[in-house]
Structure 1
Amino acid sequence: MGASDSPSSDLTPAGGSIRVLLVEDQVELRALLSDVLQDAGMEVRIAEDAHSAKVILEDFPCDVLVSDVHMPGSENGIDLAEHLKRSRPQARVILASGHPPRQLPSLPGYAHFLQKPFRLNQLMQLLAA
């Protein structure tokens, strides 16, 4: 599926491209994913932890949160997802982890899960779903 294929256009808000908040503590992975999403026409903001992500959310009404479950700091991706859903209940959430779901805290029912390592097309399919 190309970046301009129709499924991703279903996510596009009235004002333009899909707004994605990407929260990942691994610098190389964060840079790679950010580049891929931007190349696909998405507006992307990046953060390395939940605290930084919350600051970004004050001025960036994301449509989709893509976050690692485990990250530095006192809050995890699940905490961040709950914070986002309180202010933007329509936002979608994709949580990723190198640990299998059975080894994680209970994931919210609204969240999609990506097992690391994942393929870029798996992430793109979830964004287009």
Structure 2
Amino acid sequence: MATSTIPYAIVVEDDPIIMMETTYILEDAGFRVHESFDGDEAIVHLAEHWENTVLLFSDVDMPGSINGFALARHVAEHWPLIDIVIASGHVVPASGDMPDKATFILKPFNQRMVHDHLREILPDDRKPEPLKTAVV
């Protein structure tokens, strides 16, 4: 990824308030964000824009034919370069729920928690500038 390219993240969340907050947190981290309200919509978007997307940030429970765990497995299989963060306040992943490369964050989360998590999991060449240059 070129240094001047702003990476994209896709947020998959059915709660509009949490969607708004998550989008703000990721935009503040330096991402351009696409919002999807279910996994089916996210897959359609990724099929068209996977080359520009570096991060999937998804809820577990949502409407549609797949939940966040199934979406994470689908993304890991079809677009292995996309990093995956799954979030929930109700469900904790059991063994085998998520692909090996996916990470989990508990809700409620805040900006600092998400930014610290992304600094830890994203390779430097896939981090937006604000995550690289932030004082921790």
Category of TM-score, reference length = shorter chain = 0.7 to 0.9
| Aligned-residue identity in percent | 32
Deviation at 1:120, TM superposition (A): 1.7
Output the TM-score relative to the length of structure 2.
Answer: 0.76
Distance 1:58 1:107, change over 3 A: closer
- Structure 1 segments, 4+ long, off by >4 Å, are 102-105
Which of 16, 26, 29 matches 2:18? Answer: 29
Return the alpha-carbon distance in structure 1 between the equivalents of residues 93 and 76 of structure 2: 23
Return the alpha-carbon distance in structure 2 between the equivalents of residues 102 and 60 of structure 1: 28
Return the alpha-carbon distance in structure 1 between the equivalents of residues 43 and 108 of structure 2: 25
Aligned residues: 117
* Farther-moved stretch of structure 1 (13-22 vs 75-84): 13-22
Match of 1:99 in 2: 90
Unaligned runs of 5+ in 1: 1-12
Unaligned runs of 5+ in 2: 121-136
Counterpart amino acid of 2:98? Answer: L
RMSD of aligned Cα (Å): 2.0
Return the alpha-carbon distance in structure 2 between the equivalents of residues 35 and 83 of structure 1: 26
Residues 77-128 of structure 1 show CA distances to partners (whole Å, capped at 9, x for unaligned) of: 1111122122221211100011252679733322111111112211112222
Do structure 1's residue 84 and structure 2's residue 84 form an aligned pair? no
Return the alpha-carbon distance in structure 1 between the equivalents of residues 106 and 115 of structure 2: 14
Match of 1:69 in 2: 60
Q: Which has the higher helix share?
A: 2
Output the TM-score relative to the length of structure 1.
Answer: 0.80
